[in-house]
Amino acid sequence: MAQHPITPAALAARPLLFASGEQAYVAATILGTSQTPDGADPAWADEVVAGLGPGERALCALSFAAGAPGLAHRVVGAEHALQRPAHDGSVERAYQVTEFPTADEYARMVEAALAKIADGSLHKVVLGRCLDVVSDPPLVPAEIIDRLLTTRPGRYVFAVPLVPGSDDGQAPVDGPILVGASPELLVRREGLEISCTPLAGSVPRSSDPDEDARRAAGLQQSGKDLAEHAFVVEAIVHALKEVCVEIEYPATPELMSTDTVWHLATPIHARLADAADGPSALRLAQLLHPTPAVGGVPTAAANAVIADLEGDLRDWFAGCVGWVDGNGDGEFAITIRAAVMDGPRLRLFAGAGIVAGSDPASEVRETGAKLATMARVTGLP
């Protein structure tokens, strides 16, 4: 049962939280932080869960790539109803914005990926681009969370410092912090029950209701987007078959919307044979991540193309973030609609899935719409 409601203004200066819908788990004390150079290491995940006592959770973040860092804060905290702010408490700021790659450069990246798809070495790849926003005075996490609750680009609101806590059990006073509001559930474990809701295939929304409805209907009938979505669902179902005895999902995807984007979504429900011997939510996140929703098909070929065309843009973006308890239960979201704040700089990332039939100009517009969703939380017009 959630305790008293809490607003972002009442949070610590650098909060540590994970919210699903209106319910937020807010850490009060950091008991320790476990870091690993390889967030895909199953032994590390098992060690994190085994180290949790009664009433404790690990709030975790995993990078996109295998062999890239993972972090888990062991915390005690409480559930709260996370309220939207009653008023806009923002201050006037000056901003410097840098887009990279540029729209033209990104279109050429898409063309290069399409050439790989045409020669048969690749079926799908997700390519991203970034915005760097430098603000004066610097933005603060509570203000970003304020705006995330107002614009709500996704139901999973999070704030996770990417460095260890201080000696007094509080969040670190400086260093990068990952904040966002993801629309995409990677995995949830409640006892034997497993849930996933992958998103793949999307289109920007319109302020005109008739045009908005036309775009939504078109998305449901788009062969390109349905094929992109099918890659993701098939990969998740295949992975779940290794650890689950029952898997159910609809034959066709559903529509899901945020303020700026329509998505194709498929709710997947599965069941573990034994909760005690089954994988924890953190291990399930490692097993499933990265899905083709943020990577591609085949996985190795897609990851190679991403590394070649994007370079080191991703880091913690397109990874996953969430929590796990000592019983192995927990919930992880894909790290999209997210930002990394570090001093006066805030970096945003957005990607689009490239498959046969993708149009470079359309993918530029799609990533632009996704970046616009998060740019609004900085206060940019």
The verdict on whether 124 is a catalytic residue reads yes
Catalytic residue among 184, 228, 310, 366: 184
Catalytic residue among 124, 228, 331, 366: 124
- Strands across the sheet with 199-204, in order? 199-204, 261-265, 254-257
User: In angstroms, rounded to a whole number, what is the distance separating the alpha carbons of residues 246 and 195?
Assistant: 12
User: In angstroms, rounded to a whole number, what is the distance separating the alpha carbons of residues 373 and 198?
Assistant: 19
- What is each CA distance from 357 to 127, 202, 301, 362, in whole angstroms? 15, 14, 19, 11
Burial code (b: 16+ CB inside 10 Å, e: under 16) for 357-371 equals ebebebbbebbbbbb
The verdict on whether 22 is a catalytic residue reads no
Q: Is 138 left (phi over 0), alpha (psi -120 to 50) or beta?
A: beta
Burial group, residue 193, by CB count within 10 angstroms (0-12, 13-18, 19+): middle
User: In angstroms, rounded to a whole number, what is the distance separating the alpha carbons of residues 299 and 66?
Assistant: 11
Which are the catalytic amino acids?
A: 124, 184
